[in-house]
Amino acid sequence: MNTLQNRTAVVTGAAKGIGAGIAAHLATAGANVVVNYRSDEAAAARVVASITALGGQAIAVRADVSQAADVAELFRAARHAFGPVDILVNNAGVYSFAPLTAVSAGDFEQQVGTNVLGTLLTMQAFAGQDDLGPASIVNVSTAGTMSHPPYAGLYVATKSAVNALTVVAAKELAARGIRVNAIAAGVSDTDGTRAMGFIGSAQAQQAVAEIPLGRLGAPDDYGPVVTFLSSDAARWITGDIVLVSGGQR
């Protein structure tokens, strides 16, 4: 299981939900894990504690990925603790769902800032390391970029930009042995979707009806795929957007 032994992974937005699940799987595969969070220090500490309780190595680092200074500090802290960062998982993201006529400039700035600029800044910091060997970036996108659900125009637009950044970066960084892929996550049962009242709603029931495998995703569904894409087993895969959605598309 130690396919990522002696590697260091930064997982953004890893205090809860899908990010926490990814962090746990990477640690199980032997990676040192940097659990990034923006505001919930206690939740990030619980993720770290769960990893170390199983014999893994992890630290929590606060950073707002939409701020260049914070991103620089995130990578400095990771390097100080574990050395070069070999794996970057861009999971941090924000979303809201509303008709196009109700989207505000504030909504735009927040979602573009975290989802798009945050992905760009962290990839820049990752690629700016001059002592990397073979390395991997995995960006977390959404299956909504294919299904285009109503009321998700802004969120889907930001993740479509993430998909484009993924493909372009894969071409630019390939010569350095840096692979760049994305996973397109399906509708999932997470802290975020619970907080917005989605779980148990009529909308959730409709979503399940449209998923061929017949259920919502769970945080544990994504970690194994990200771990594979981060490993040498995926050495011939780059520039790909992998659907991890129970068949939703």
Q: Which of 37, 95, 151, 155 is catalytic?
A: 155
Q: Which two tokens stand for residue 176?
A: 């350095």
Let me know: does 153 contact 199? Beta carbons within 8 Å. Answer: no
Let me know: does 51 contact 33? Beta carbons within 8 Å. Answer: yes
Task: Give kind and range of the element (H or E) at residue 44.
Answer: helix 41-53
Q: C-alpha angle with apex 150: 144 to 152, nearest 5 degrees?
A: 55
Burial classification of residue 71, based on how many CB atoms lie within 10 Å of its CB (0-12 exposed, 13-18 middle, 19 or more buried): buried
Q: Which two tokens stand for residue 213?
A: 């495998």
Residue 246, C-beta contacts closer than 8 angstroms, at least 6 positions apart: 186, 211, 212, 213, 214, 215, 216, 217, 221
Is 95 catalytic? The answer is no
Active site amino acids: 155
